[in-house]
Amino acid sequence: MQAEQNWLPRCDPLSLYSRIVGTGGYLPENIVTNSDLEKTVNTSDTWIRERTGIEQRHIAADGENTVDLAENAARKAMQAAGVLAADIDLIIVATTTADQVFPSTACLLQSRLDIHGCPAFDVQAVCTGFVYALAVADKFIKTDTSKCALVIGAETFSRIIDWSDRNTCVLFGDGAGAVVVKADSSPGILSTHLHADGDYANLLHVPSGVSSNYAAVQQGRAFVEMSGSDVFKMAVKTLGRIVDETLQANGLEYSDIDWLVPHQANTRILAATAKKLKMPMSKVINTVAKHGNTSAASIPLALDLAIRSNQIKAGDTLLLEGFGGGFTWGSALVNY
């Protein structure tokens, strides 16, 4: 039974809310440590740990694609939620590293899961992608368009990394996280808040694609480029603002948040956001050391790990927040 909190809004019997009822995560078996990277690029384990907090990252094997990671995470989430394929009526995959130009990774996953007929589509907001996808699913359910949604963040980010660039190759990894979101008569997802500002696109981007600079793609040179210090400053500033926006929208104080479940970019950004919340790091779900930055997969992976390890318990109030290329940023306030 979900624990009751007296500040939660009272429910109209006809009201529809959405609630996370199951989570799942998947990481490729192949692990690349900082020591491994020392052998191939001018870096060191100490340098990486001090600047990012990352110790290792999981890297998809040859032939292991985004849909494979998504399928593993989705099946675990469905099992945890106690739902069958026939129960799912919406599939949203947040990814920057789709298997194909089309069809969407969501459609490929739909076939894998033997689900037919329901809407299935991808969302691309890079590291904020899972929050964007969760917000869309929440709206589908609150408008009575969906009853049971499967929301996944999945990435094979290693495929768009220049492994000779020490500024980016040390940061990223691969993985997938998933949640099942169902209609409920009591509030689960309390609010979502999404933003973007394309004026800052060049600070973190892959400057090649199908319609622009396709020659680089053909030559296998479509890699992430990042201005690290500028991205850090923007992340801290925007995440601080969205913390305030989320709390104000719900009439809450910092002390009402039980757990911060942030995008796992690096420990310095996590610490800065926790400071803004006046929250000790012991209340911040932190997986960056073992996972690295898995982009759209990082928040659901962290959420799944925290729930399965009994850190997060029924009735806890969670603040999910992310920041990514675009720039995009967003949050979701969740009563678990």
Question: Residue by residue, what is the 3-state secondary structure of 252-317?
Answer: CCHHHCCEEEECCCCHHHHHHHHHHCCCCHHHECCCHHHHCECHHHHHHHHHHHHHHCCCCCCCCE
Structural contact between residues 76 and 51, judged by C-beta atoms closer than 8 angstroms: no
Among 107, 263, 266, 335, the one annotated catalytic: 263
Helix (H, G, I), strand (E, B) or coil at 25: strand
Handedness of CA 320, 305, 106, 200 (dihedral sign): positive
What does the block give as tokens for 188? 């689960």
- Active site includes 30? no
Angle at 93 between CA 109 and CA 258, to 5 degrees: 130
Among 72, 286, 293, 335, the one annotated catalytic: 293
Tokens 């040179």 sit at which residue?
221
Cα separation of 34 and 237, whole Å? Answer: 29
Angle at 4 between CA 130 and CA 261, to 5 degrees: 25
Instruction: Find, among 109, 68, 83, 65, the residue nearest to 23 by Cα.
Output: 83
Cα separation of 130 and 149, whole Å? Answer: 13
Among 65, 72, 127, 335, the one annotated catalytic: 127
Phi, psi (5° rounding) for residue 168?
A: -115, -35
- Active site includes 127? yes
- Active site includes 116? no
Cα separation of 236 and 229, whole Å? Answer: 11
What does the block give as tokens for 174? 């691969």
Active site residues: 127, 263, 293
